[in-house]
């Protein structure tokens, strides 16, 4: 009989859920808007009935093992969401306890970037690797770290925050409250802000992006302009790539992974940005490690990496 | 019957060796000058007879389990010393194979900083901690990283080089061949060089150290001057402490250890330098982790940390 885990990927806007097989197969999936206010119990009940509907769509017998949940600021050790700025269910929410009660199944949780790392390890391009880093680029910059074949949670369950390394001391203020984080430069908003600064300071340089409303420009627009040779668009990727390369050099010097994976956002412009990242990574890394660490796109779809990774929390528990 | 492991700590100048018990007891120890030229086999035979003499001094029965060796650039995976700049036994030396043949016992090796970390974990102040960093300050700046209760070797056995993080892009050239490493500033020579630069640039500032021959000044002399309020000596520690604090902030943001240990060199001036390190670490770390990570002196003697840690390689193998 097939074994299935329920995966839930709670985002600030939408929540995805699916029935996932042992090899990462998505047997059924759907999504609904996240209801980030009121009580989490109420939202969990809505999820429960939505997932009942998904289950009804399966035409084979299966054994349901548990529920894995990826969510912002979710802590694997405590089973709680703790101080997530965009979710208003309370300062800390006991999501594992509540899901276990409503679903009557064992549950486990971690943050969305860690869930993507677990997905990459079990079902993606990191299969068989014991040491790697995955960076998820989007509204924020998340990351998951594997060392010796295990996800790194650190002493309190919150380790693995590559996006909050200080890239520029006293630099831009970040959402986390400190200055100069990678996330303040390499998230979707950070990249656009870099372009905006270039447009404002390099007034002599022609750019097709001057005709656009800056508030509507996306990383993808900048990518398309760079492909056509737009100098400020190219400079925007150069600045982001150099910063990621320098930070990755320090990561590699500490942890010497086999590979680094990138997913979403800037990684969609990898033909432009990966060479810059590699150049600065290899200049700044311990010479012993030069040209030894692969920089790769994720082997999973950005849409489903955290979903199937969340489900894999349950496979880890049952292995 | 007592169980004993032989520990060997090969340094550029001297080699220590000892008979170590399961709780880190040093039953007997001695040291001889390292003979870094000719064949390693010849030096290994000298060590063998020296250790025979130590064994003859024990007046109780024991079972000998193996030989653990800490050595510069030693690789746990390959059992070899690879490209150690100060040892002239050949580009790579199969030290585990040679020691196993001569001693007729199982052997294992790792670099000296990793050996200190293993010692700290088994017998020192890191007992019971799953996540910590140890930094060994001396002629170089070494480090050993524990994550999830295991030493981090990375994909090729050489991970854990905190001393070669880039602190100052395009900064001082380091012995490793790249620019701006922590080691180029915070090693014994690096600290003296910082003082020298301050003496040369801040000619208006009085300093008792102006009367000394700069080639004879040590970190300890600078410490003593700082305790007496010497401004340039204090500035030297401020510069080193800020640099270590900023780099540790990034370490903590990635790996969230329970504690950071420091051993030797600058750590001997901890009443002056630890507050500066903590100040800059807490400014630059992810706010979630502020004031949560302890900065501690090693629980082991600088002289014997690597020796008993090397022996503990054998306990790890037999556990």
- Judge: B253–A164 Cβ closer than 8 Å, yes or no: yes
Residues contacting A55, CB < 8 A, separation 6+: A19, A28, A64
Pick the closest to residue A294 from A75, A181, A179, A126 (CA basis). A126
- What strands lie across the sheet with B132-137, from one edge to the other? B150-151, B141-147, B132-137, B259-263, B294-297
- What pLDDT score does B319 carry? 60
Write the ipTM.
0.95
pLDDT confidence tier of residue A316, bands split at 50, 70 and 90: confident
- What pLDDT score does B173 carry? 96
Q: What number is the average pLDDT over the span A125-141?
A: 95
Backbone angles phi, psi at B96, to 5 degrees: -65, -45
| Dihedral (Cα; A237, B167, B241, A133), 10-degree rounding | 70
State how far residue A143 is from chain B, nearest Cα, in angstroms: 9
The answer for B 169-198 residues in CB contact with A (under 8 A) is 169, 176-178
The answer for B 229-268 residues in CB contact with A (under 8 A) is 246, 249-251, 253-258
Report, at the CATH architecture level, how domain A128-297 is classified. 2-Layer Sandwich (3.30)
The answer for B 265-284 residues in CB contact with A (under 8 A) is 283-284
A267-296: pLDDT as tens digits: 999 999 999 999 999 999 999 999 999 999
B32 strand-pairing partners: B15
Which percentage of chain A shows pLDDT scores above 90?
A: 89
CATH top-level class for A2-120+303-317? alpha beta
pTM of the entire predicted model = 0.95
Q: What number is the average pLDDT over the span B39-57?
A: 96
* A319 pLDDT higher than 70: no
HEC profile of chain A? CEEEEEEEEECCCEEEEEEEECCCCEEEEEEEECCCCCCHHHHHHHHHHHHHHHHHCCCCCEEEEEEEEECCCEECCCCEEECCCCCCCCCEECHHHHHHHHHCCCEEEECHHHHHHHHHHHHCCCCCCCCEEEEEECCCEEEEEEECCEECCCCCCCCCCHHHCECCCCCCECCCCCECECHHHHCHHHHHHHHHHHHHHCCCCCCHHHHCCHHHCCHHHHHHHHHCCCHHHHHHHHHHHHHHHHHHHHHHHHHCCCEEEEECHHHHHHHHHHHHHHHHHHHHCCHHHCCCCEEEECCCCCCCHHHHHHHHHHHHHCC
Q: Does B220 reach chain A within 8 Å, measured CB to CB?
A: no
Q: Does B91 reach chain A within 8 Å, measured CB to CB?
A: no
Rounded Cα gap, residues A181 and A184, in angstroms: 5
- Judge: A176–B292 Cβ closer than 8 Å, yes or no: no
pLDDT confidence tier of residue B88, bands split at 50, 70 and 90: confident
Q: What number is the average pLDDT over the span A26-31?
A: 97
Q: Tell me which chain B residues have a C-beta less than 8 angstroms from the C-beta of A258.
A: 155
Helices marked H in chain B — which ranges?
A: 40-56, 95-103, 112-123, 183-186, 188-201, 219-227, 231-255, 270-284, 305-317
CATH top-level class for B129-297? alpha beta
B216-234: pLDDT as tens digits: 999 999 999 999 999 999 9
| Mean confidence (pLDDT) of chain B | 95
- What pLDDT score does B86 carry? 77
Q: Tell me which chain A residues have a C-beta less than 8 angstroms from the C-beta of B159.
A: 131, 254-256
- What pLDDT score does B302 carry? 86
All CATH 3.30.420.40 domain ranges of chain A, comma separated, are: 2-120+303-317, 128-297
Report helix, strand or coil for B281.
helix
- What pLDDT score does A302 carry? 86
B104-125: pLDDT as tens digits: 999 999 999 999 999 999 999 9
All CATH 3.30.420.40 domain ranges of chain B, comma separated, are: 2-120+303-317, 129-297
Q: Tell me which chain B residues have a C-beta less than 8 angstroms from the C-beta of A283.
A: 178
Both structure tokens of A260: 């680094």
Q: Tell me which chain A residues have a C-beta less than 8 angstroms from the C-beta of B155.
A: 130-131, 256-258, 292-293
């Amino acid at each position: 009989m097939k074994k299935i885990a329920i995966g839930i990927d709670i985002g600030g806007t939408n929540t995805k859920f699916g029935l996932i097989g042992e090899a990462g197969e998505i047997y059924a999936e759907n999504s609904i808007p996240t209801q980030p206010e009121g009580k989490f119990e109420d939202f969990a009940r809505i999820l429960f009935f939505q997932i009942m509907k998904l289950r009804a769509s399966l035409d084979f017998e299966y054994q349901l093992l548990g529920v894995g949940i990826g969510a912002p600021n979710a802590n694997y050790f405590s089973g709680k969401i703790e101080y997530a700025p965009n979710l208003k269910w309370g300062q800390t929410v006991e999501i594992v306890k509540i899901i276990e009660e409503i679903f009557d199944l064992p549950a486990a949780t971690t943050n969305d970037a860690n869930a993507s790392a677990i997905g990459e390890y079990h079902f993606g391009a990191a299969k068989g690797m014991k040491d790697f880093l995955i960076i998820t680029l989007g509204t924020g910059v998340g990351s998951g770290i594997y060392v010796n074949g295990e996800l790194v949670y650190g002493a309190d369950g919150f380790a693995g925050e590559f996006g909050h390394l200080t890239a520029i001391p006293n630099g831009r203020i970040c959402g986390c409250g400190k200055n100069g984080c990678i996330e303040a430069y390499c998230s979707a908003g950070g990249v656009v802000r870099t372009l905006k600064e270039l447009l404002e300071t390099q007034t002599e340089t022609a750019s097709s992006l001057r005709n656009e409303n800056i508030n509507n420009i996306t990383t993808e627009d900048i990518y398309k302009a760079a492909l056509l040779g737009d100098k400020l668009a190219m400079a925007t990727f150069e600045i982001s790539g150099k910063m990621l390369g320098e930070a990755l050099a320090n990561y590699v010097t500490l942890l010497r992974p086999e590979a680094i994976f990138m997913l979403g956002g800037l990684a969609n412009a990898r033909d432009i940005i990966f060479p810059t990242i590699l150049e600065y990574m290899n200049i700044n890394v311990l010479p012993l490690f030069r040209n030894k660490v692969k920089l790769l796109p994720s082997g999973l779809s950005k849409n489903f990496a955290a979903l199937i990774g969340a489900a894999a929390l349950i496979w880890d528990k049952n292995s």
